[in-house]
Amino acid sequence: MLQNSKVLIVGSDGLVGASLFSSLVQIGVLVTPTTRRQICTDDIEYFDLLIHEPDSLLKFKPDIVFITAAVTNISFCEQHPDLSSRINVTSTVELAKVMLSYGAFVIFISSNTVFNGCIFNVSEDHPYCPTVRYGYQKAAAEQQLLALPNANTNLTIVRLSKIVTPKAGIAAEFLSLIQDGKYVEPFYDLMFCPASISFVVKGLITIALSRKPGIFHLSGEEEMSYAQFALSLTHAIGADSTLVKPITTTLKGIDVLFRPRHPALGMERTKNIFGIYPESSIQMINELVGSNQLCKSIK
């Protein structure tokens, strides 16, 4: 049981890390969260992958370590390859090496950008084929992590498709505008495969409970354009669908570096081992709309 484990989350103020921290605390797990932001509080540990030695975290004697910290902005990685690589590859691998040597079980969060997006439901064991620097960095980190001592027994890599949440990002923006009766201009020439943050966190907790090593995927089931996503949200909340004004990335003047034709991740191995199926679009939309309504009622 996780309640009997000490969990360390490196990067607990990011999207995945923050939600994972809240969920683990709610079920009574002893969690140590870290942040690279210099926040003065006794509740969170200041740890910067570029500054601190990973040995400094051994004082918490973690049984399970989630590495969620990363530079995830694709444009930033292209513009600052050396800096982003130090964080996403060099420092991350060194952290995992220390934790694996200590005996902790390490869960590393990766991305569908390790693939080119040309293969439908790409499998967990498909060869790497990234097209953007962020994807190259994630692939390099995975390869180096898998070569570490104890990785075959104490390391799990979990790749994610696009995460959506009603609290931030594109879903929050669309919901806010549509509920206020304002127009949105989503792209109909850009595909993604959204999965709710609650689905991802539940999946990560299930994987952590099992402590099974290997590479696994957590993904939405349906590939859709951003325009289709926005229309699904309007239908779900009973808003006027004419508020959605689809547009192309070209007309908007947006330079998209990662433009996958098939952004979904296949989950055959993940399904067989953990019984976790890709999240349906209906469930994903319900999670977004239900959580959004709860947030509004609390306010």
> Domains plus CATH for the chain?
2-164+195-222+262-279 (3.40.50.720)
User: Structure pTM?
Assistant: 0.95
Q: Report whether 160 contacts 110 (CB < 8 A).
A: yes
Q: Report whether 115 contacts 129 (CB < 8 A).
A: yes
Q: How confident is the prediction along the chain (299 residues), in pLDDT tens digits per residue?
A: 788 899 999 999 999 999 999 999 999 999 999 999 877 566 899 999 999 999 999 999 999 999 999 999 999 999 999 999 999 999 999 999 999 999 999 999 999 999 999 999 999 999 999 999 999 999 999 999 999 999 999 999 999 999 999 999 999 999 999 999 999 999 999 999 999 999 999 999 999 999 999 999 999 999 999 999 999 999 999 999 999 999 999 999 999 999 999 999 999 999 999 999 999 999 999 999 986 543 443 33
Q: Report whether 265 contacts 121 (CB < 8 A).
A: yes
